[in-house]
């Protein structure tokens, strides 16, 4: 018989009619989690992803009346471009999340002046070490190739990036199929949270998720590492 501890953590799905309704519900959930954390301690931590999916969520969340001054925000991953580059996740978060009530939040960027993400791992890990852990909320997206954060299929980054109990917080990634070198939180860091969310929209992403759920080869679809682990329940918010 399979020992209970070997079973994967639960996957809790919430399906929505459209992305706007999803964004409102997810913003309410995230705000409630942060509010609860701040009733227990001085600071709360929120880890968000880049890409296009979270924009509607950010626009909702930034209006929630939280004590944002006490909330630390950082990224699950960053593309190695200047913070004013259109592809910068930091730029996205500044423009779309750190507005309205949320302008007071403390953003911890993952970009440094270093030439490569490899050379910035030490400094960025030190920045993250000031955050309260387990993180209060981690929100991830997923690419159509099955990547999450910047853990891309068949990259060398996966050797360290997919260790479920490794010590490393960050890993550099040089995806052949996506623009820019990246810095990504590792699976181990991402799972160290009280509330883990996978936010996906569209039929294509749903099909990618179904494919990930029915196969086992993790390096081909790193999102499987989240779906198959037994440490942290995963809340899938989706519409499509």
Length of the chain: 240
**Distance from C-alpha of 65 to C-alpha of 74, rounded to nearest angstrom:** 19
**Distance from C-alpha of 202 to C-alpha of 107, rounded to nearest angstrom:** 29
Which residues lie closer than 8 Å to 179 by C-beta, 6 or more apart? 79, 87
Return the residue of 117, 143, 175, 222 that touches ligand 6PG, per CB under 6 A.
143
Return the residue of 149, 181, 209, 225 that touches ligand 6PG, per CB under 6 A.
149
| Closest CB to ligand 6PG among residues 1, 156 | 156
**Distance from C-alpha of 51 to C-alpha of 187, rounded to nearest angstrom:** 19
Q: Enumerate the β-bridge partners of residue 235.
A: 12, 197
Residue 83 Cβ vs ligand 6PG, minimum distance, rounded to whole Å: 14
Q: Does 148 bind ligand 6PG (CB under 6 A)?
A: yes
Residue 2 Cβ vs ligand 6PG, minimum distance, rounded to whole Å: 31
Which residues lie closer than 8 Å to 86 by C-beta, 6 or more apart? none
Reading the block at residue 190, the tokens are 């991402």
Reading the block at residue 173, the tokens are 């990634």
Residue 225 Cβ vs ligand 6PG, minimum distance, rounded to whole Å: 13
Q: Contact region for ligand 6PG (CB under 6 A) — 74-82, 127-135, 188-196, 220-228?
A: 74-82
Binding to ligand 6PG (CB under 6 A): which residues in 28-57? 49-53
Q: Enumerate the β-bridge partners of residue 193.
A: 135
Residue 103 Cβ vs ligand 6PG, minimum distance, rounded to whole Å: 22
**Distance from C-alpha of 85 to C-alpha of 231, rounded to nearest angstrom:** 36
Q: Contact region for ligand 6PG (CB under 6 A) — 11-19, 57-65, 118-126, 145-153?
A: 145-153
Q: Contact region for ligand 6PG (CB under 6 A) — 11-19, 76-84, 118-126, 227-235?
A: 76-84
Residue 166 Cβ vs ligand 6PG, minimum distance, rounded to whole Å: 19
Q: What is the DSSP letter of 78?
A: E
The footprint of ligand 6PG (CB under 6 A) covers 49-53, 76-77, 79, 89, 141-143, 147-149
């Amino acid at each position: 018989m399979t020992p209970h501890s070997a079973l994967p953590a639960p996957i809790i799905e919430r399906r929505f009619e459209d992305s706007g309704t999803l964004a409102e519900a997810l913003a309410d959930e995230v705000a409630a989690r942060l509010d609860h954390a701040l009733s227990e301690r001085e600071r709360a931590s929120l880890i968000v992803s880049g890409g296009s999916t979270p924009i509607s969520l950010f626009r909702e969340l930034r209006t929630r009346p939280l004590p944002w001054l006490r909330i630390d925000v950082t990224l699950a991953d960053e593309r190695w471009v200047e913070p004013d580059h259109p592809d910068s996740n930091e730029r996205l978060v500044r423009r779309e999340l750190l507005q309205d009530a949320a302008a007071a939040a403390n953003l911890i960027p993952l970009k440094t002046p270093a030439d490569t993400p490899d050379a910035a791992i030490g400094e960025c890990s030190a920045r993250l070490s000031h955050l309260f852990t387990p993180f209060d909320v981690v929100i991830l997206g997923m690419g159509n190739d099955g990547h999450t954060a910047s853990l891309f299929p068949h990259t060398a980054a996966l050797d360290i990036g997919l260790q479920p109990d490794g010590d490393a917080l960050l890993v550099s990634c040089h995806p052949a199929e996506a623009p820019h070198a990246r810095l990504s939180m590792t699976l181990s860091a991402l799972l160290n949270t009280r509330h883990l969310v996978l936010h996906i929209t569209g039929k294509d992403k749903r099909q990618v998720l179904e494919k990930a759920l029915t196969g086992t080869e993790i390096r081909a679809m790193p999102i499987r590492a989240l779906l198959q682990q037994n440490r942290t329940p995963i809340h899938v918010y989706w519409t499509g």
